[in-house]
Structure 1
Amino acid sequence: MRFMIIVKATKDSEAGVMPSETLLTEMGRFNEELANAGVMLAGEGLQPSSKGKRVTFSGNTRTVTDGPFPETKELIAGFWLWRCRSMEEAVEWVKRCPNPAVDGKDGEIEIRQIFEAEDFGAEFTPELREQEERIRAQIADKK
């Protein structure tokens, strides 16, 4: 099973406050543990929403809004993609994670399972499966 581990933004991370050397060291150590265990597939930190854009869809109309997005309560500061045997294993790994909050106070991480092809049922036709496999192979070739 694959999981997206979502690190929630804080006021400090949204203000562009960079993590301390201590936090970077702890996260580096944690990422090494994940990689050595074969759990980590990818992981990155994100710039504050002030440097982002949001595209809103309404029918065929697209509206682009510049960040920051202060009306949004929950923004994302970073993510990992992990492969775990179960949600319980992913939870156990997250519990071992250093507190991701830049200020060391209140941090929050959300765990979401990623859909696999078999989750979509009959609507995911053999042609769509073949297309998905081609796209994944194309992406893998570019690494």
Structure 2
Amino acid sequence: MKYMLVMRATDEASAKMADIDFHEMIETMGRYNDELIRAGVLVAAEGLDDAAEGVVVDHSSEPPVVSDGPYGETKELFGGFYILDVASKEEAVEWAKRLPITGPGFRTEIRRVASIDEFPQDNEWIQKERAWREATGQL
């Protein structure tokens, strides 16, 4: 089963991270990433650019409204993610507990990633997606 670990931080926690030496942070996260790789559970991992550089597309009106910067509420911004292929939610939780970025204001949300196999296989769009995944080596 695949699980996404969504790394979140409050504004205050994000500000504290800015004080950490970049090379030290890369070393710390690199060691954790290496553990995931050696365990054979890492599928993907990415950090995100500063939320202030992003945009939000609000679909509550027609046409959708695009605004600069982070969400209206920035108490916990989504700062990066891991996708792990593990046996259970409990195993995903254990990996999340080992994340090296810790302290007040840091949280990790864990969500199962639904498999294409869970959708109706006779659906035309699921069949097209499955064919695309097979053609691109993602299945």
Using structure 2 for the length normalisation, give the TM-score. Answer: 0.82
Listed one character per residue, the Cα deviations across residues 5-29 of structure 1 (whole Å, up to 9, x for unaligned) are: 1000332537982753333211100
Q: Against the structure 1 CA distance between its residues 81 and 14, is the aligned structure 2 distance closer, same or farther, given a 3 Å change threshold? A: farther
1:64-118 deviations in Å (ceiling 9; x for gaps)? 0100335243320110111000000101111122125xxx543111110011134
Correspondence for 1:35: 37
Cα separation, 2, equivalents of 1:77 and 1:22: 18
> Runs of 5+ in structure 2 lacking a partner?
none
Shift of 1:48: 1.5
1:113 counterpart SS class: strand
Report whether the alignment pairs 1:10 with 2:10: yes
Aligned to 2:107: 108
- Given that 1:53 and 1:67 are in contact with CA atoms closer than 8 Å, whether structure 2 keeps it comes out as yes
Distance 1:66 1:15, change over 3 A: farther
**Are 2:89 and 1:87 aligned?**
yes
User: What is the percentage of aligned positions where both structures have the same residue?
Assistant: 37
- Residue 73 of structure 2: SS of its match in structure 1? coil
Select the residue among 115, 122, 129 that pairs with 2:126.
Answer: 129
CA distance in 1, matches of 2:69, 2:16: 12
Cα pair 1:50 1:69 within 8 Å, conserved: no
RMSD: 2.5
2:114 counterpart letter in structure 1: F
Normalised to the residue count of structure 1, the TM-score between the two structures is 0.80
Deviations 1:5-60 (A, max 9, x none): 10003325379827533332111001011011111111011112100000011364
Question: How many pairs does the alignment contain?
Answer: 136
Question: Match for residue 98 of structure 1?
Answer: 100
**CA gap 1:83/1:18 in 2 versus in 1, 3 angstroms:** farther
Gap regions ≥5 residues in structure 1:
none
Q: Which amino acid aligns with 1:96?
A: R
